[in-house]
Amino acid sequence: MIYVNNLHSLNYNKKEYKCSVGLNGFTKNKIEGDKKTPSGTYGFGNLFVRTDRIPDLNTKFKIINIQKEMAWSDDPTKSSYNKLIKINYNHKESLYRKDNKYDLLLVINYNIDPIIPHKGSAIFMHLTTDSYEATAGCVALKLNDFTEILKTLNPNDKITIV
């Protein structure tokens, strides 16, 4: 079990890691675009990796190689809302980025089953920089910490955000 709290720390396997969370903190009533991290306990979805940048990841998760045409739908008016989509244009939630934020991305199964429009999308664990800047609602870790966690994290484990 991964545990994230308001002190911007993530606890896993009796170890504490610094992390970034939503700019506007935590909420039990997430709304698309509120820049808040949703409180609750969630499972994990797919693990996406820029294997050209992180070639030999040690994990129990199946690795999905991030391709240029991959993005995550954040448009609540579309049937593809909060799902992986294929694009051929510049998209706000493109998974193939110039920066390194999405080089390693684990889907947090928030608003997945069922998907409710306007309740928030693209909630991930992803990478942060040394400055630990706030996210739009995700949980972000440094590469070394994230890869250390992924060595023992199981696909059926959960994350609790409070």
> Rounded to two decimals, what is the model's pTM?
0.95
Exposure of 63 by Cβ count < 10 A (0-12 exposed, 13-18 middle, 19+ buried)? middle
Q: Which of 123, 121, 120, 95 is nearest to 108 (CA)?
A: 123
What pLDDT tens digit does each residue of the chain (162 aa) get?
999 987 899 999 999 999 999 999 999 999 999 999 999 999 999 999 999 999 999 999 999 999 999 999 999 999 999 999 999 877 778 999 999 999 999 999 999 999 999 999 999 999 998 899 999 999 999 999 999 999 999 999 999 999
Residue 137 φ/ψ region, left for φ over 0, alpha for ψ in the -120 to 50 degree band, beta for the rest: left
Query: Which domains are seen in the chain, by residue range?
Result: 2-161 (2.40.440)
Per DSSP, the three-state class of 104 is strand
Q: Which of 43, 44, 26, 47 is nearest to 120 (CA)?
A: 26
